[in-house]
Amino acid sequence: MQRHTHNGKVIVALSGGVDSAVAALRLCNAGREVEALHMTNWEDDDGYCTAAQDLQDARLVANELGIPLHVANFSAAYRQRVFAGFLADYQAGFTPNPDVLCNREIKFGVFLDHALRLGASRIATGHYARLASTPPTRLLRGRDASKDQSYFLHAVGHHALSQAEFPLGELHKTEVRRLATEAGLPVHRKRDSTGICFVGERPFRDFLGRYLKGAPGAIETPAGVVLGEHEGLMFYTLGQRQGLRLGGQRGYPDAPWYVAAKRSDDNVLVAVQDREHPLLWSDQLVAGDPHWVAQEPSGLASGRTLLCTAKTRYRQPDADCRVSALPDGRLRVDFVSSQWAVTPGQYVVFYSGDECLGGARIQQVHALRETPRAAAASA
C-alpha cells in the first residue's frame, strides 16, 4: 500500500463487503488510527434490500479488527441528490448512471462531511483506483484493469479526493480475497454487490415501475414496419437484446433483435437484427456538464483540440478520440474508430494514459450512415 505521512484519524467507509473490509485491514496493518463508518442510504423492506445484513457484516468486521464503528443514515440525501435525478432521467428517455452521482454526492459528499465532523482528518474507501497527491490531486486507474473504478469516480473533485485514500488501488481482486482469507475476516467469501448503487439487485423493470408509469408504444424497424409493442421507452437501453419478445417474426431471419433507437417524440422503439447496423454505431457525440478532476486540459478552452482516449461505458476498452469545446460549454467528441451503442444519459470519461482527466454526460449521438465494415472498406 502507498505510504502516507498524514497524521490523525482515518475513517473507512465500511460497507459490509470484502473490499472495504480489506481497505480497513490494510490501514490497521500500516499502524494508522482507524475508525469505520457504515452508511445506510436505502430503506426498503421489500425482500431485496440487504441493508440489515450489510450492517451486521460491518459490525463483525469492525469487531474482528478492533476498530470503532459509527453508523449513519443518509437515505434522505440519497433520494434527493441521486435517486430523484435518476428517475427524472428515465422519465426523459435517458439511461442514467447513478453510481457516478452516488460517488460525488454521497460517498465523497455527505459521507466525507460526516466523517470530518467525527474528527477524521481523512477518509478511505474500497475503490479500485489510485491517487497522485501532487497538487492538485489527480485520479489514476486502479492496477487491476478488470476492477478499475476510476470511470465512476470521474465526477469527484480534486478537493474531496485530496482528503481520501484508496488502500486497494495497487491490488488485484485475487489479492484482496487472499488477504481477507488470511486475516480471517468474516466476509472473505461474500460475493460482490451489483445493481443500482445502494439499491442493489432486484427485478429492474418492476422496481422502476413502482415510481414511473410506462407508456406502451410500437416497436418498429427503421423502415417503419411494426414488429410488436414495448412497455415504455424507459425500460430499454441502446444495444439491449433481451426482453424485446420479437422472436419468430414472419419475413425476418431467426436472429437476435437489438434496440437501436428510442424516439420519444412518437414513443417508438426502433429495433434491428444486425449488430453491425449503422444505427448502433457512432463516431461522434456531444456531452454536457463537463467535469475535470484536477483542472481543465490546457488549450481546450482556447479552441484547441484535446487528443486523448475515452470510455462511453464501464469496462469498455479505451478509444482514441479528439475533444473540442463548443461555444455553449458542451464538448464534442470525435472517435477515430466508431463506437457501439453509445447511450445518452451515460458518461464519456477521458483518460491520458493512467490518469482519469474527467468526463461529461452524453446528450447527443451521431449515428453512422453505413456499417463500420462498409465505412472501413471505402476509406
Catalytic machinery residues: 102, 197
In 221-305, which ranges are E strands?
226-230, 258-263, 268-272, 281-292
* 319 bridge partner residues: 310
How many other CB atoms are found less than 10 A from the CB of residue 251? 5
Quote the CA–CA distance of 249 and 190 in Å, as a whole number: 43
Quote the CA–CA distance of 123 and 35 in Å, as a whole number: 9
Q: What are phi and psi of 199, to 5 degrees?
A: -90, -35
Radius of gyration (C-alpha) of the chain in whole angstroms: 22
Please, how many CA atoms are within 13 Å of residue 182, restricted to the half-sphere of its CB?
Answer: 9
b/e per residue 197-215 (b: at least 16 CB within 10 A): bbbbebeeeebbeeeeeee
Quote the CA–CA distance of 121 and 143 in Å, as a whole number: 26
CA torsion 324→325→328→331, rounded to 10°? Answer: 60
* Residue 223: closest CA among 283, 279, 284, 285: 279
Strand 164-165 relative to strand 122-124, pairing: parallel
Quote the CA–CA distance of 219 and 232 in Å, as a whole number: 10
Quote the CA–CA distance of 319 and 85 in Å, as a whole number: 28
Quote the CA–CA distance of 129 and 152 in Å, as a whole number: 10
The secondary structure of residue 200, as a DSSP letter, is B
* Residue 349: closest CA among 374, 314, 325, 377: 314
